[in-house]
Amino acid sequence: TQLLEQSPQFLSIQEGENLTVYCNSSSVFSSLQWYRQEPGEGPVLLVTVVTGGEVKKLKRLTFQFGDARKDSSLHITAAQPGDTGLYLCAGISGSARQLTFGSGTQLTVLP
């Protein structure tokens, strides 16, 4: 079983602060995705990273895939209350045609 561990599990910060969420595994993934889930809704895809060392930016969000394709990070600059939600990483391995989800990071941005 391929496990994806996310840290921190919970994060509460003030509006305007920066934060980083980590997603780690002992397994190699062919690609890794980040999702955001809001209460009462399903996860929504934010980004997919494919190449080791790849960095993608989505407005104030920066995603990085580790060189060895075993880990990833999500950095949010100047967090806003609208960033509040559950952030999930999910990996796709070369053989399994399915997503393995991380444990999630519940982010709360206080105004």
Partner 1 sequence: DAGVIQSPRHEVTEMGQEVTLRCKPISGHDYLFWYRQTMMRGLELLIYFNNNVPIDDSGMPEDRFSAKMPNASFSTLKIQPSEPRDSAVYFCASSLGELVLQETQYFGPGTRLLVL
Strands lying side by side in the sheet with 61-65: 5-7, 19-24, 71-76, 61-65, 55-58
Q: How far is the CB of 49 from partner 1 (least distance, A)?
A: 9
Q: Which is nearer to partner 1, 1 or 14 (CB)?
A: 1
Look-up of token digits 């780690």: 24
DSSP string, 20-49: EEEEE-SS--SEEEEEEE-TTS--EEEEEE
Q: Which is nearer to partner 1, 16 or 53 (CB)?
A: 53
d(CA 110, CA 2): 34
| Pair of tokens at residue 29 | 């993934």
| Pair of tokens at residue 93 | 């391995």
Q: How far is the CB of 85 from partner 1 (least distance, A)?
A: 13
Q: How far is the CB of 14 from partner 1 (least distance, A)?
A: 26
Q: Which is nearer to partner 1, 12 or 103 (CB)?
A: 103
Q: Which is nearer to partner 1, 23 or 79 (CB)?
A: 23
Residues forming the site for partner 1 (CB under 8 A): 30-31, 40-45, 48, 50, 88, 92, 97-99, 101-104
Q: How far is the CB of 111 from partner 1 (least distance, A)?
A: 26
